Amino acid sequence: MSFLYGIFGKILNMFYGMTGSFGLSIIILTVLIKIILLPVTLKQDKSMKEMKKLQPKIDELKSKYKGDPQLLNQKTMELYKEHKVNPAGGCLPMLVQLPILWALFGVLRQEGVVPNETFLWFSLVTPDPFFILPILNGAISFVQQKIMGTANNPQMKKMMYMFPLMMVFISYKMPGGLQLYWLISSLSGVAQQYFVMNRGE
């Protein structure tokens, strides 16, 4: 992680030299990361679409083998293998972003790397005192779930409401700079989702 700390610290300082603002530097870094991760996002979209196509067959298996969970699991995995679908493919972007979040969190906590700069109404190295950023993060997360069609999946419908609340709870103590990263990342994610949903297949 110290290697990633050094990389993100240098990148932020480079953008700071161009903009004179660490807040803007974090925004530029966030958009850059989103662009780099676009192929992963496209792969996630493909995986989710394939899973949606398989849902009727999965429901048939659940009905047929409801008394035998072990056999149901075996037949479900065989179905995934037959159609070359990875059920965990939709989680890939989140897994890729976790090290980035931890690295940026580490950079913001390192004394002297990022100054206690005020960006808009909040400090970059301390939590948002008005809780505006955590609430915005929760709201954008809810919008993302709606766009992804979570509400149409009974199994995931609860997550559409739980995940935004979790986002608010998890992020309200984060440094303002990290909350800013998460907010811009989520907004970029909404824009990307519109792109991948409307692109030609």
pLDDT tens digits, one per residue of 3-54: 777 787 788 888 888 888 888 988 998 888 888 877 777 777 777 777 777 7
pLDDT one-digit tens code per residue, 144-188: 777 665 545 555 566 666 777 877 887 788 888 888 888 888 888
**Residue 105 within any structural domain of the chain:** yes
Give the structural domain span for 194.
Answer: 2-47+90-198
Residue 178 contacts residue 101 (beta carbons within 8 Å):
yes
Residue 186 contacts residue 146 (beta carbons within 8 Å):
no
The overall average pLDDT reported for the chain is: 76
Q: Is the dihedral of CA 176, 126, 7, 100 positive or negative?
A: negative
Helix (H, G, I), strand (E, B) or coil at 56: helix
pTM to 2 decimal places: 0.68
Percent of the chain with pLDDT over 70: 79
**Residue 123 within any structural domain of the chain:** yes
Number of domains in the chain: 1
Q: Which pLDDT score is estimated for 197?
A: 64
**Residue 64 within any structural domain of the chain:** no
**Residue 62 within any structural domain of the chain:** no
Closest residue by Cα to residue 92 from 43, 58, 151, 125: 43
